[in-house]
Amino acid sequence: MCGIAGFVESSAVRSPFDAATAHDLIERMCDVIRHRGPDDQGALVDSGVGLGMRRLSIIDLSTGHQPIHNEDRTVWVVFNGEIYNFRELRSELVAAGHRFYTASDTETIVHAYEQWGTAAIGRLRGMFGLAIWDMRSRTLLIARDRIGIKPLHYAVVNGRFFFGSEIKSLLEAPDLPRDLDVDALDHYLSFLYTPADGSIFKSVRKLPPGHLLVWRDGQLTVHQYWQLAVDETYAGSEADAVRDLRDVLSDAVRSHLVSDVPLGAFLSGGIDSSLVVGLMAQTSGGRVKTFSIGFDEPAFDELAHARRVAQHFGTDHYELVVKPDALSILDRLVRHFDEPFADSSAIPTWYVSEMARRHVTVVLSGDGGDELFGGYDRYVPHPRVLAFDRYSPRALRRVAAMAAARLPHGVRGKNFLRHVGRDARGRYIDSIRFFGADEKPALLSRDVLRALDAVDPEVRLARHFERYAHLAWPTQMMRFDAETYLPDDVLTKVDRMSMAHSIESRVPLLDNEVITFASRLPASLKIANGRRKHVLKEVAATLLPQEILDRPKQGFGVPLGVWFRGNLRELFADTLLSSASLQRGYFQPSFVRRLVEAHLSGKRDHSLRLWQLVVFERWHRQYVDRASGSADDRGCSSDAVRNRLPLSAPAVLSTPAVQSR
C-alpha cells in the first residue's frame, strides 16, 4: 500500500522542468502524502517525466522498492494497492518468458502490461491506483480498480499532466489553479461529497472507478475497462446460491489475508464485518485481532454486539468509546480529504484506524455488503409511502408535488408531500439528498446561482439508473449505490481515514469474484419478504450467533445532534456565524442564521446539514484562505467569489448517495 504521484510534460511545454526542479517537485508531491507510506520513498526522474511513491511495506518487504521496472528498464510502474492474483499472473508471465527480479505484486503489473497492453488492467484482481510509464512510446497509463477502492486524481496544466493518490500532491504543482468549481460545491451540498469525475477544484479531476487514462504528448484519452453487469443471470436455487456464495466469500477472504505484516479486522457487530471476521477466524487458524468503536449514546452504540461476535470467535478484541471532544480532530479530517467531505462517520473511522494501527498494519472490513446484497433500509418502501400509493390515484401524486412546492420551508408535511409526489427514481434521490433544489435559491448567493450549470445535481445523479432500467427496482437501487455512494462516500472515507494512520484497509466483500457473483443474483434472493441481505444472512447463519443475524441495522453513525446541542454548540457560532464565514459570498447569511437558530432552539434537527456547512467553512480556511495569503481569517468578499467562479461551468458528472436517515 502506497501513495503515488508524478507528472509528464508534452513537447508543447515552453519551459520544461530542469533536473533539479523536477526532483524537487517529485520530492514535495511525495512528502505531503508521507502518511500513506512511511516506510520508503522512491522516484524516477527522466527527461520530461517524474514518477514518485511513498511505500507502506506489506508484501516483499526487502525487494519491493518502487518504482519497479521491466527487464530492460523501458517500462516503469508506481502502484498503490494490492493485487491478490499476482502469483497466478506471475506464473503465466514467467511461462511466457518474462524475468522477475522481485517477489512483489507490483512487478507483475509491469510484465502484464508488456504482455497484454492496456488489456492487462482488466486482468488484475485487487484494489489499485497505478501509473505505468512506457519510455519506448513516451506514454503514461494511469488506472483505477473496478469499484473504486483506491483513489486517483489528475490535472492538465500548461502542457503538463499531473497525477496523485491525493489532491494535496497535485497542489504542489507550481502553476495549478485553485479556482473553486461551484458545480462541485452544489453537488456536495446535495450529497455530502463532490462528483465522481470532478473535485472542488476546477482544474483537478478524479479518475472514475473501472477507468484507465492514456496520456501521450498532450493527447488524453479516458476508457472504461469495466462496469457492473447489466443482467442477473444466476439460475440456481436459493440453497445453491447460499453454497456458492459461501465458497466465493471464503476464497475472497483467504486471498485478502496475504501479508508479510500483522493484520486484523474492523468489527462493528453488524452482519458484514462479523461475517468477514468469522471467515478470517476459520481460514487463518490463529486468533484474529478485532477493533470496534462505540458511543455514550445507546442508539448509536454497537459495542455489545461487536463484543458478542468477538467472544464467539475468540478474537483479541480492542474497543474505544468516542466522546464529544472527537470534533477536536475536525481540521485534521478536513486536511486528509483535501476537499469538503461531510459524512460524519469519518469520525469513528478515524478513531478505529488510529486504535488498530497500534497493533496491526493491515485490516479487513465489511464494506460493500449493503450495496451488493441489499442491506439499506431505503431498499424497502416506508409504510407511509406504501399506504399513500395504495389509496391514492396517480393524479394525486401531481397534486402532492404542487402542494409541496407552494408550502414554505419548515412547514410540517412539506417533505412528505414532495417525496410522494415523485416517481420511484425521484423518491430515491430525495431520500439520500440533503439540501434540495427547492432550498438552493434561499441558501446560495446570487453570484453562485448565476454560475451554476443548468442541470441540477439530483438530475445528473439519476442518470445512473438508466443502464439498469429493465431490472427489478431493488436491483436498480443497489446498482445505483454501487456506482455512486459506495466509491464516492464509503470507500473514500475508509481510504483517507485508514491511510491517515498508515494502515491498509482491505475489502474482501468487494473482491472481483464477489462482485461478479453478487451481480448475477436476482433481487428476490437479496431482499425476500422484506428481509434485507437475505442470501448473505443465510451464509452468515452458518457462522454467527443467532442474535446478530436479524437485529435492526444501525449503520456507522455519529450522534451529531446530541453533541451539537451539548457542549459543542459553540462550534456553530465560532464557525458558521463568524464574520469570515458570513462574508464569503457563497451562502446567504440570513438562511444560515435561521438554520443555526432553529437547530439550537430545538425546533428542528439540522445537525447533518449544519455539519456540511461547518466542514466547508473549515476546508475553505485551510485550502483557500491560506493559499491566497488570507490566513488571518478575514474571509472573502462577494467580489472575490465572483473572481473565482467559472465563466462557463463544466459538465461535471454527478454521483453518490448517503446512508438512509
Tell me which residues are annotated as active site: 2
The per-type count for the chain, helices as H runs and strands as E runs, is 31, 17
| Contacts of 558 by beta carbon, 8 Å cutoff, 6+ apart | 295, 300, 322, 326, 344, 345, 347, 348
395, 519 in Cβ contact below 8 A?
A: no
Question: Are residues 151 and 129 in contact, defined by beta-carbon separation less than 8 angstroms?
Answer: yes
Alpha-carbon dihedral angle through residues 639, 642, 644, 650, given to the nearest 10 degrees: 180
> What are 280's three cell numbers?
478470517
Q: How far apart are CA 629 and CA 622, in angstroms?
A: 11
What residue has cell string 402542494?
403
Q: Where are the beta strands (DSSP E) in 108-248?
A: 126-134, 139-144, 153-157, 160-164, 205-206, 211-216, 219-224
CA distance 12 to 43: 24
User: For the chain, what percentages of helix, strand and coil (3-state, to nearest 5) are there?
Assistant: 45, 15, 40
C-alpha cell at 233: 443471470
Distance CA 199, CA 211 (A): 17
* H helical segments located in 287-381: 303-313, 330-337, 346-357, 369-373
8 A C-beta contact, residue 147 and residue 487: yes
Q: What angle do CA 480, 483, 488 make, to 5 degrees?
A: 120
Pick from 120, 115, 211: which is nearest to 163 by CA? Answer: 211
Q: What is the DSSP letter of 530?
A: T
